Each structure stands twice: as structure tokens, then as C-alpha cells.
Amino acid sequence: MNIKKYDYEGLIEGLKPQERFLFEKILYYHDKVSKRNNRMKIYSNLLKILVFVLAGGTTVVLGIENEGMEVLAKNLAIVFGALITLLTAVLSYFNIERFWMRSVSNHLKLNNLRDHFVFLYYKEEGISKNDLSNLFNDLNNITNQNIEYWNDVMVDTKKD
């Protein structure tokens, strides 16, 4: 049987109930993390690029030496500086890049778990109860690490 990228319907149909439950959970989390990765990448890069553009704009505006434009240039530079400060604070406070990198790490772990599941499924003897239990424990470890991460974030937020 040929499995197309991200098309596991044929495989799911042949699974036993526990196997199906686990594999569908893996695919669900994988899909959820994959979508979040794309959003976080866009947010992180967009905010950084905006800071760079504003910083460059500030330099250009401050370099304006036309008579009568100095006050406008100064005011624009102050606004740009305030926006840079705000965006930098948002990036720092929400630690968007760290969250994105953590999400990428989870995505890779889920890719590995999914592929390991498929590999075990196609073994001649199929997935043993021990293999299934180990896969379930691996998925729980990923989930528990996320719970610990968010608990730490909440504790850090309460300290502030």
C-alpha cells in the first residue's frame, strides 16, 4: 500500500481501536502544531522585519535636513522610536521566537512519533502491545512537557 504524504486514511482503516485512537491523536496534535508553527513563524518574522524597517526609517528621517522639515522629522523619529519600543517589548514579553522554536521542536517530535508508528505498523508482526504502550507514553511525554512549559509560563507571569 502506498501512503501519500499526509494521507493516512488507508492506514487508519486497518487499525485496531487502540491503535486507531493513538494514531488519530498523533495526527491531530501534529496538524495542530503544524498550523501553529506557520502562524508563529509569520508573527515572529513580521514583527522583526517591522522593527528593522522602523529603525531604518528613523535613521532616514533623522537625516532629513530640509528647512522647515526638521520638526516633522523629529516628531516622526519619536513616533518610530515609540513603535520600535512597543514591538520590541511585545517580542520580549511574549517570547514569540522561543515559543515558535518550542513548537517546531514539538512538530519534529510528532513527525518522528508518527513515522515510528507507521514503521511499526508495517512490520511483519505489526504493532505489539508493548510498542503501542511505548508510543502512547512518548505522546504523553510530549503532552506533559507542554503542560510543564505552560505551568512555568503562568508562574513567571504571576511573578511579574
| Count of beta carbons in the 10 Å neighbourhood of residue 80 | 20
Tens of pLDDT, residue by residue over 36-61, are 898 999 999 999 999 999 999 999 99
Residue 98: what pLDDT? 86
Total domains in the chain come to: 1
Quote the domain boundaries for residue 137: 17-153
Residue 8: what pLDDT? 81
Please report whether residue 24 resides in a domain. Answer: yes
Please report whether residue 133 resides in a domain. Answer: yes
Please report whether residue 110 resides in a domain. Answer: yes
> What does each of the 160 residues of the chain score in pLDDT, given as a tens digit?
555 455 688 788 889 999 999 999 999 999 999 898 989 999 999 999 999 999 999 999 988 888 888 888 999 999 999 999 999 999 888 888 888 898 999 999 999 999 999 999 988 888 999 999 999 999 999 999 988 888 877 777 666 5
- For the chain, the distance separating the N- and C-terminal CA atoms, rounded to the nearest angstrom, is 55
Residue 154: what pLDDT? 77
Please report whether residue 47 resides in a domain. Answer: yes
Burial class (CB in 10 A: 0-12, 13-18, 19+), 35: exposed
Please report whether residue 132 resides in a domain. Answer: yes
> Kindly report the CA angle at 88 between 84 and 94, in degrees rounded to 5?
150
Cell numbers at 49, concatenated: 522585519
Question: Is the model's pTM score more than 0.85?
Answer: no
Cell numbers at 77, concatenated: 523619529
Give the residue ranges of DSSP H helices in the chain: 9-13, 17-62, 70-94, 96-121, 129-159
Residue 86: what pLDDT? 95
Residue 4: what pLDDT? 47
Residue 160: what pLDDT? 58
Cα–Cα distance list, 120 to 125, 143, 156 (Å): 9, 22, 41
Please report whether residue 7 resides in a domain. Answer: no
Residue 13: what pLDDT? 86
CA 147 to the chain's CA centroid:
15
Please report whether residue 122 resides in a domain. Answer: yes
